[in-house]
A = this chain, B = another copy of it.
Amino acid sequence: MATEKYQKGIVKIKELTSSTDENPTGFMDIGEGFKDIAPDLSQYVVEFAFGDIYSRPGLDNKQKVLTTITSLVTQGKPQIGMHIKTGLSVGLTPEEIVGCIIHLIPYVGFPSVLNALKVTQEVFNELGVKVTPSEG
């Protein structure tokens, strides 16, 4: 019953999360937890967000996740943590992830950036990721 676009979306999620066939959506929240109140939601997430948009050419995966993280930091959304994991999975370095958030100071101000770094730090600690200090 899964559409072709749904299959395409699942393939993309596997690629983004380096997940296995047993748990194809990996750590990505596709809205499965809302089956009781919105059973159609995960279909929109998989088909549209991943089957259509993330599968689109134009940007590579690292650029796509950097764009996602930037928008979530700008909006102050809690989903930033999950997408930092995706960023690491597709090959963004910890320095690039932190660099992207620090780069936003002149565009969103310090409070949004400090709140985002808190989440980043928690995810890095959870995964044992270290940032290599640069010679600024």
Interface residues of A (CB under 8 A from B): 29, 31, 33-34, 36-41, 44-45, 47-49, 52-54, 56-59, 63-64, 66-68, 70-79, 94-96, 98-112, 114-115, 117, 120-121, 124, 130-131, 133-136
Contact B111 A109 (CB under 8 A): no
Contacts of A98 in B (CB 8 A): 37-38, 58
Contact B117 A41 (CB under 8 A): yes
Given contact pairs A41-B102, A53-B106, A71-B74, a sample of 17 additional A-B residue pairs in the complex whose CB atoms are under 8 Å apart: A38-B101, A39-B133, A44-B48, A48-B48, A56-B103, A59-B96, A66-B70, A67-B70, A67-B104, A68-B103, A68-B107, A71-B108, A75-B107, A75-B108, A75-B112, A104-B109, A109-B109
Contacts of A66 in B (CB 8 A): 63, 66-67, 70
Contact B58 A96 (CB under 8 A): yes
Contact B37 A117 (CB under 8 A): yes
**Shortest distance between the CB of A127 and any CB in chain B (Å):** 12
Contact A136 B57 (CB under 8 A): yes
